[in-house]
Structure 1
Amino acid sequence: MVKKLLTIFVFFVTFTTLSQETKILLSGKVIDSLGIVKNANIINRQTNQGTFSSDDGRFRIFVSEGDSLQISTVQHITKKIRITKTIKDLKSITVTLKQNTYVLDAFDLKRNDLMGRLTADLKGVPRSRKDSLLSKVLDFSNINFKQKDPTIDAVVKAKPPIVNTVPNSFGGAGAGAKIPFRDSERLWALRKKLERKKQFPYKIMSELGEKFFFEKLKIPVDHYFHFLEYCNPLGVEELHKENKILELIKIFQKESVPYLKIIKKE
């Protein structure tokens, strides 16, 4: 008889423990007096698993009966909720948070005996000793700017004329000199060509896709740029400029075979 009672008791305890440990996916919503609360931090304190409320204030988290949820944000007072059997059976919960009020430390407005009026307080504010010294150093009231220094003029006149040694440029060209139209046009074309060459690997990747190069052609990711340089003598950049994509694909498919053999030997 005792053994039967003991068996029943152990079975009851085991069943109760298992029922409590059974996890469910709890759906919830976080709100306050103004409406929904997004980006609230929800943590199950028993499992240390957490999530965030979405833009419409909703969240989902695994819980068991007896677990404790902690809901917190910067703007609200932290709230803790214990998962009861009722909440577990409903599989849904709405959490209402209270706004948090921050109180700043008091500070003294009468530290310099100010009255609160700008015109009156400016006269009473103590001046820094550094400010007074700086004003003396920067005092130009006694300087006659119309008077010229003959020594400076002599030094300027004694300087030799600047000789322009740059070919195909105008005499006396300085920082503000203009580049001839033909040269500027040529430089612009060169800059445009270099920019197109720089952007080619990224454009062709976005157009043909990663699967084409890394799965179909089996080009290793770290050899992608090297493979394009390998194909460059065949005019792949010009073909791309002329929008001849089919010809580009044929070249890449054909050249990938010998290229893979080369890098395999290396």
Structure 2
Amino acid sequence: MKNTTLLLFFLFVGALTFGQNDRQLLRGKVLYRGGNVPNENVINSTAETATITNEDGEFVIAVKEGDQLVFTAVNYQLEVVTISPEILYNNRLVVEVTEKVTQLEGVVVTPENQEKFLEVKNEDFKEFEYEIDRSSEVENIAESRAVRGMQDGINFVNIFKALFKSKGEQGETRQPLKVSEVLRQVYDDEFFVVDLKLPQDKIDAFLLYCDDKVPSQTLLRKENEFQLIDFLVTHSKTYLAELNAE
């Protein structure tokens, strides 16, 4: 009887452990106009894990069906991919990102040359059968600029957590994140221009300005976002004052 009880206990623990670790490693690549995109953040917002692409634009991350992968970088539009059974079966994913473009009056932005992209893709990846995701672009727009959460189906709370974690998917220690690395992935330009009154071409310079002034890395945690907003408002005023004095 005692042995039976122990056996049932171990079976239960084993089943529970399996249920928590049923994700598989997914290989992928991020491209822009047929070229590799290094240092792109690849965030599993469902599992709250993250990695970055290497110099060849490649990444590996644990996923399961239904997980949302968020692809973010300073110079590219945010892209979201929901893991489907087909992606899991192929165990390969190619994501084509688009460049962030400031919309100006009288300027028409034409679509990417998809035919040329496919030619380059087929030449570069003829060994594999990658699936290309062209999911709709999701605009990341700060709401009341202090309250974030589930928006357009994307869990920004989990993105904050994944970006803040100090260890990567393989357990390697990461360098502490900086304001300039995090906030461009979470807030759109509207937040900086409308709420902080910054010139659009000075956003990156302002974030670099803030890097050395952050009192603690914990300020970048989601639960401290009110303090983070206050920090940005205060330093945007001093930054603009210094900018005007030059």
- Select the structure of larger CA radius of gyration: 1
Higher helix share: 1
User: Greater relative contact order: 1 or 2 (C-alpha under 8 angstroms, separation 6 or more)?
Assistant: 2
Normalising by the smaller structure, the TM-score range is: 0.3 to 0.5
User: In proportion to residue count, which structure has more strand?
Assistant: 2
Normalising by structure 1, we get a TM-score of 0.31
